[in-house]
Structure 1
Amino acid sequence: MRGWFRLTVGLLAVVLGALWTVLGLGYVEGSVLTDRRPWALVGVVLVLIGLGALWWGMRARRPGG
């Protein structure tokens, strides 16, 4: 079970960050975040943090890691 929490949090961060990015860039309508550039930047940062968490979780799941 090692690494599952990190993988779950990482995946959630990537998905949420991607959503915030497309909302911030104005590609999705109907939200208070739509077409607000700071949310696009926050989304990109969250995606990068999520990718780091996924990498960290994969290392923890590796035998001997």
Structure 2
Amino acid sequence: MSRAARIAFLVLGLIALVTGGIWTGQGLNLIPGSFMTGDRTWLAIGLAVAVVGIVLIVVALRRGRRPTR
């Protein structure tokens, strides 16, 4: 995987993780002020997006390492 692809995966993963965290907080009624506040649907969507973000971050970091011999 090229360096540019790793950086893109990392950036997208971080964005997905933060967005998922915000949506999860709104779904749990921890972050007020939105139509999503208190809606369990956004809890599920937020958790799914956060998991995707974590996977992208792990892939970006694992692909960046080169085996040492």
- Give TM-score, length-normalised by structure 1: 0.91
**Normalising by structure 2, what TM-score?**
0.86
Say if 2:18 is the partner of 1:21.
no
User: Per-residue displacement from partner, 1:13-39 (whole Å, max 9, x unpaired)?
Assistant: 000000000001101111011000000
Amino acid at match of 1:22: G
1:41-52 pair list within 5 angstroms: 41-52=44-55
Quick one: percent identity of the two aligned structures? 31
Query: Structure 1: which 5+ runs fail to align?
Result: none
Whether 1:30 aligns to 2:33 is yes
Structure 1 segments of 4 or more deviating over 2 A?
none
Structure whose alpha-carbon radius of gyration is higher? 2
Relative contact order higher in (CA < 8 Å, ≥ 6 apart): 1
Shift in Å, 1:60: 2.0
RMSD: 1.1
